[in-house]
Structure 1
Amino acid sequence: MKNIKILFLLLFVSTFLFSQNSKRVLENLKQDGNTITIQVNDGRYLIEFYSSEIVETSFLPKGEVQSNTSHAVVLKPKKTHIIINQLKNKVIYKSDGIEVQIQKEPFKISYFYKGEEVISEKRGYYKSKHNALETVKDNIIAKETEKIEFNLTENEVLYGAGARALGMNRRGNRLALFNRAHYGYETHSALMNFTLPIVISSKKYMLHFDNAPVGYLDLDSKKNNSLTYETISGRKTYQVIVGDSWEKLIENYTQLTGKQPLPPRWALGNFSSRFGYHSQKETEKTIAKFKDEEIPVDAVILDLYWFGKDIQGTMGNLEVYKDSFPDIKRMISNFKEKGVKTVLITEPFILTNSNKWNEAVAKDVLAKDSVGNPAKYDFYFGNTGIVDIYKKEGKDWFWNIYKEILALGVKGLWGDLGEPEVHPTWVQHAIGSANEVHNTYGHDWAKLIFEGYKTDFPNERPFILMRAGYSGSQRFGMIPWSGDVNRSWGGLQSQPEIALQMGMQGLGYMHSDLGGFAGANLNDNLYVRWLQYGVFQPIFRPHAQEDVASEPVFRSDFAKKHAKKAIELRYKLLPYNYNLAFENNQKGTPLMRPIFFEENDDKLMANSETYLWGKDFLITPILKDSLKTKEIYFPKTANWFHFYSDEKIEGGQTKLVKVKQKSIPTYVRGGAFVLMTNVVQTTDNYKGNKLELHYYYDASVKESERTFYNDDGITANAFEKGNYELLKFEAELSKRWLEIDLEAEFGNHWKTSEKEIALVVHNINWNPRKIKIGKKRVKISPQNNTLRLMLKWNPTKELKIKITTK
């Protein structure tokens, strides 16, 4: 009897939870073009098709007025063909992709794609008591919160919610949407600098909650197959985004929220960075050391000592401290001649004892307290106010400071502490309270800089390094990093997950402080493994507290030797990596891609230990000390060749591979073209005319094609201006010949030049009877199963290479 009562109670509870919308009554429903208006007893829904793969739903409770202000969305709705199907208890609005089903009684909204339900509202919109998470109880303050609840299927895996260290599958967590730094984190961090209102499902749909104020994402923490967005205020608007592949899904999302501009090519080089260089003399000696050791370097980053001698009490000065940097302009100019660009840190906090406090008060650029005075409060660096970037005075003042910085010759800007690190709830900005703009502060700070560049430096690509942002921040050229990670194996272990997750959420340049930031742990093996991983992550930037040097030039001979090899490989991969940046710019495709992009298998959905670097590299970082072997799964979609030995491994198997000190396990897809170059000491010396083209011959691949993008590396919107070339390489295998064709396309304003190319064909385990380059026969034998042909190619003409098969 007791069991029967329990079963009845469970059935009652589940039915009650599922049918909360039974009190929501459909009163009227009409369509106007792409928009459907649904009047219900407690408000109205506005459903709008942006395209056949993106639909937006807003709920307006009675008495609320619609707000069209979005921090994220830039796409304008396209005219979408919609077929209406009226049934007895249901109305179906069907596009070529998404269909929206409105169940009349009990009221329910469901979204379908290709005949399958992807997501549906459960309770939909409701209000209830705010249950504050312990970690944010002093930050997110509200008696009740507004919620939107959805149904989940039993087994779907959930990604998203920003940068966190939780494991790839984030289902089962209730997560605060409140950007906050986590100093010294390792393998677990539920709250970090980038919290994004995005959920991605293994069923290949995304939910983006288009609202700025702070709140929560509950990813089925109660284990009742529910997903809930929760906010203190603002819009009850979300977009459902679908796609027939992972790449298409992310392309659709970045079409909605904006594409990442192509960064300057030097951003893909090596950075010299630490917390921090105390003087001009120290900075110059460091760069001289890189040059003496012939370790490539493209940029140097100055932390807060450029404007003050001490960590505390100087923030907000934002002008050169001449006692330490007597002629910074000359230093920057000299670095530039050596191909080294200078990046300066800035923060949005103006201390009350800083050089600029009185000016900031007089010009009314600061956020206010409740009675209209400049808001002042204490934090680690001193007593401070914060720039109100939401009013014209604040924007103009801040951008004028940036113009002064850029006039020094600076080529990159670093925005630190932009969560903002300390942001009391009582602080008032021009457009709302701290909690209404907290999560978008870093996002809008990047926007301020990006738009300033468009106005005053329209031909220059900005480099904007930021520690916090929100959904859509990629369109401002934001380069995010994963915060103050601990200098430990645990710190390293969380980094692939964070970068992969953020790439899926549109921010493709998420990277880590290579070697780790926090703590005084001197571990050369950890350092080497982190830098080896860094070759195959978006930005190569060793950075750390100065207790232990972050720069390879100041490390042991062991660490320096292996770090130099890693950095040189990074530079050899410039043509391949630059093309990844272009793909990201065009389609939003992440540079780092989860392995399940390659093979959609349940067993791979939580795997972040092996990932794809672009389409053709399979990478497995070494994340633990002293490993001798590593178990790796090789996707069944291809055969894979060891990058260093050319050993072939058939796809579709898990294999135990030996781990070597000199490199991490790196494999290339059979049939792939990989474009490389010679090592240069700075990207300024790279012209794209001396190249290595590697083709990984695989008899199972009959046809293969790759395209690589090139431009001058510095001009903003070079592709749109027709200032580019596309190099196309095709391979075709017949019974008698392997034919490789080189072709090119050019923008209207690109002047091409002859290219010297070393064509390296791997896995040639026979001696070809004939080799033809164009019409000319050559006689060259493979060495170690590798055929190397030297080509001179005029890209205005097609060049064919034919190699007889076995």
Structure 2
Amino acid sequence: MKKTTLVKLNIFAAAVFALASTVQAQNSARTIVSVNKQADHLEIKTNDGHYILKPYSDKIIETSFIPAAEKFNPASHAVVLLPARVKTSFKETASSIQYIAGDISVSISKSPLQIAYAYKGKPLLSERNGYSKTADTEMLDFNLDASEALYGGGARALGMNRRGNRLPLYNKAHYGYEERSEQMNFAMPLVFSSKMYGLHFDNAAIGQLDLDSKKNNALAYETISGRKTYQVIAGDSWADIVSNYTSLTGRQPLPPRWTFGNFASRFGYHNEAEARNILDKFRAEKIPVDAIIFDLYWFGKDIKGTMGNLEFDKDSFPNPKGMIADFARQGIKTVLITEPFILTTSKKWQEAVDKNVLATDKQGKPFTYDFYFGNTGLIDIFNPPAQDWFWAIYKDLKNMGVAGWWGDLGEPEVHPSALQHKTGSADELHNIYGHQWARLIADGYKKDYPNQRPFILMRSGYSGSQRLGMIPWSGDVNRSWGDCAHNLK
């Protein structure tokens, strides 16, 4: 080892151990059994499981803890970056382990076990108790400096610094919210710190993100199940940190040019005549319009009882293909609202049952329940036959001339815990339902319309949904100063 490398190693170690000596140590019952350095990662076996530390770049490192009774699940719904070849160094003594990957150093005190992270010699954060488990919760927690601010957590009306809040990781619409909302439709298990790091918890299951609500300088991620994996994301500036995060989870593709224009939209154009009339008014007032959005009434005359028809109502829209083509000749694109709920009263219900499109109960029967719009089933967006069925509907509408898609109620709005999907329970997959829905449309375009960019407007998603071309919207808001005010904070 070169002398310069030794100096760098010692500087990092001194910085990280300085942090470790001033914060609460980890679970004293967890002890290190063995350490194994591989070319692309570090494995640490403990008495109750093992850690895997894997660098993705000079500025991103991932840490996973796998309890002894579990097998490691390497699948991530968020991460798309392939680990790069990162220069690493390793040193072990009787009392400590030092692992440097690029500009990030990890320092591990053996007794009591303590994991701490630094970037270019600057301490970032450290695990507090590490992984712990109760009867109904699994947790990863970390030490915070008394003065650091915390940002992120997804869509919330809480201002910028969200320290002091306990945030549900459960996508849920908050209708008519104004100046404060702790729970909304697009939660993200992601935190950025004023100490210039990001912390992303790479697990889809529902839970809580506690940003020092107990005022004890602790950050905690709590979940019902799943991966105990997180990435520490460092950088030299906010732009650098955000760029590193999007390199990890994917970058937003450029939307179609027309989506930057003016849209005509209201709670429902009841028929073709009403839609044409509103566009005539735009023209008369010399107001440019690039698209018109059709809300619920395109597939039914009533708000309730018709969701899941997923086809134009023939009485209200007798020639939808001709209407859409006429609008297109005027330079106006057509966007349709769609939802993942198939009501038992809809035209598609029996077809959805026969083709095994719907999420089920534990006996394998379609899971039905009541919500605002009627008695319903839910498309199992995680089941390949259901994906094919849903995409075929989109494809038929696309070939009719529809240019964009508004995916509504995609949290899903009502998602009973007892409901089962092909790949897991409702609570295990709830937060990635909208993400998977957007993926279905994005993948469909790549396969069938590779030279076109989709417009995917949805109110619910997950870490990495940006790479699918999803454009999130705020959910239903009040037309009030209170609603406007939180956007200015």
* TM-score normalized by the length of structure 1: 0.57
1-side partners of 2:280 and 2:93: how far apart?
76
User: Cα deviation per residue 1:78-107 (whole Å; 9 max; x = unaligned)?
Assistant: 110012233452221123311111111111
Identify the residue that residue 218 of structure 2 maps to in structure 1: 226
Identify the residue that residue 371 of structure 1 maps to in structure 2: 363
Q: Say yes or no: does 1:151 pair with 2:143.
A: yes
User: Alpha-carbon deviation of 1:246?
Assistant: 0.7
User: Cα deviation per residue 1:591-617 (whole Å; 9 max; x = unaligned)?
Assistant: xxxxxxxxxxxxxxxxx4xxxxxxxxx
Q: Say yes or no: does 1:422 pair with 2:428.
A: no
2-side partners of 1:118 and 1:266: how far apart?
43
Identify the residue that residue 624 of structure 1 maps to in structure 2: none
User: Alpha-carbon deviation of 1:481?
Assistant: 0.5
Q: Which of 66, 77, 87 does residue 71 from structure 1 map onto?
A: 77
Identify the residue that residue 203 of structure 1 maps to in structure 2: 195
Matches within 5 A, 1:645-664: none
2-side partners of 1:237 and 1:424: how far apart?
26
User: Alpha-carbon deviation of 1:305?
Assistant: 0.3
1-side partners of 2:175 and 2:420: how far apart?
27
Q: Which of 25, 29, 36 does residue 30 from structure 1 map onto?
A: 36
Q: Say yes or no: does 1:490 pair with 2:482.
A: yes
Q: Say yes or no: does 1:279 pair with 2:271.
A: yes
2-side partners of 1:19 and 1:477: how far apart?
42
Q: Secondary structure, in 3 states, of the residue corresponding to 1:254?
A: helix
2-side partners of 1:88 and 1:112: how far apart?
21
Q: Say yes or no: does 1:402 pair with 2:408.
A: no
**Do the aligned partners of 2:25 and 2:112 also contact (CA within 8 Å) in 1?**
yes
1-side partners of 2:231 and 2:225: how far apart?
18
Identify the residue that residue 524 of structure 1 maps to in structure 2: none
The root-mean-square deviation of aligned C-alpha atoms, in Å, is: 1.3
Q: Secondary structure, in 3 states, of the residue corresponding to 1:23?
A: coil
Q: Say yes or no: does 1:60 pair with 2:52.
A: no
2-side partners of 1:409 and 1:20: how far apart?
59
| Number of aligned residue pairs | 469
Q: Which residue identity is paired with 1:206? A: G
What is the percentage of aligned positions where both structures have the same residue? Answer: 60
User: Alpha-carbon deviation of 1:173?
Assistant: 0.7
1-side partners of 2:441 and 2:26: how far apart?
46
Q: Which residue identity is paired with 2:467? A: R
Identify the residue that residue 258 of structure 1 maps to in structure 2: 250
Q: Say yes or no: does 1:477 pair with 2:469.
A: yes
Specify every segment of 5 or more residues in structure 1 that has no aligned partner in the other structure, as ranges: 1-14, 129-142, 497-607, 609-806
Identify the residue that residue 389 of structure 1 maps to in structure 2: 381
Matches within 5 A, 1:72-87: 72-87=78-93
Q: Which residue identity is paired with 1:50? A: Y
User: Alpha-carbon deviation of 1:144?
Assistant: 1.5
Identify the residue that residue 9 of structure 2 maps to in structure 1: none
Identify the residue that residue 315 of structure 1 maps to in structure 2: 307
Identify the residue that residue 452 of structure 1 maps to in structure 2: 444
User: Alpha-carbon deviation of 1:287?
Assistant: 1.1
2-side partners of 1:204 and 1:338: how far apart?
49
2-side partners of 1:189 and 1:243: how far apart?
30
Identify the residue that residue 626 of structure 1 maps to in structure 2: none
User: Cα deviation per residue 1:503-522 (whole Å; 9 max; x = unaligned)?
Assistant: xxxxxxxxxxxxxxxxxxxx
1-side partners of 2:24 and 2:92: how far apart?
24
Instruction: Return structure 1 stretches of 4+ with deviation > 6 angstroms.
Output: none
User: Cα deviation per residue 1:452-478 (whole Å; 9 max; x = unaligned)?
Assistant: 000000000000000100110001100
2-side partners of 1:92 and 1:457: how far apart?
50
User: Alpha-carbon deviation of 1:20?
Assistant: 4.4
Structure having greater relative contact order (Cα 8 Å, sep ≥ 6): 2
Q: Which of 428, 437, 455 does residue 429 from structure 2 map onto?
A: 437
1-side partners of 2:89 and 2:26: how far apart?
29
User: Alpha-carbon deviation of 1:439?
Assistant: 0.5
Identify the residue that residue 47 of structure 1 maps to in structure 2: 53
- Shifted more, 69-78 versus 17-26: the winner is 17-26
User: Alpha-carbon deviation of 1:206?
Assistant: 0.6
Q: Say yes or no: does 1:362 pair with 2:354.
A: yes
1-side partners of 2:44 and 2:264: how far apart?
57
Q: Secondary structure, in 3 states, of the residue corresponding to 1:336?
A: helix
Matches within 5 A, 1:512-523: none
Q: Say yes or no: does 1:351 pair with 2:357.
A: no
- Shifted more, 342-351 versus 113-122: the winner is 113-122
User: Alpha-carbon deviation of 1:224?
Assistant: 0.7
Q: Say yes or no: does 1:111 pair with 2:117.
A: yes
Q: Say yes or no: does 1:243 pair with 2:235.
A: yes
Identify the residue that residue 7 of structure 2 maps to in structure 1: none
User: Alpha-carbon deviation of 1:59?
Assistant: 0.2
Q: Secondary structure, in 3 states, of the residue corresponding to 2:400?
A: coil
Identify the residue that residue 323 of structure 2 maps to in structure 1: 331
2-side partners of 1:257 and 1:296: how far apart?
36
2-side partners of 1:494 and 1:350: how far apart?
35
Identify the residue that residue 96 of structure 1 maps to in structure 2: 102
1-side partners of 2:471 and 2:51: how far apart?
36
Q: Which residue identity is paired with 1:457? A: Y
Q: Which residue identity is paired with 1:291? A: R
2-side partners of 1:121 and 1:303: how far apart?
48
Specify every segment of 5 or more residues in structure 2 that has no aligned partner in the other structure, as ranges: 1-20
**Do the aligned partners of 2:253 and 2:467 also contact (CA within 8 Å) in 1?**
yes
2-side partners of 1:247 and 1:452: how far apart?
32
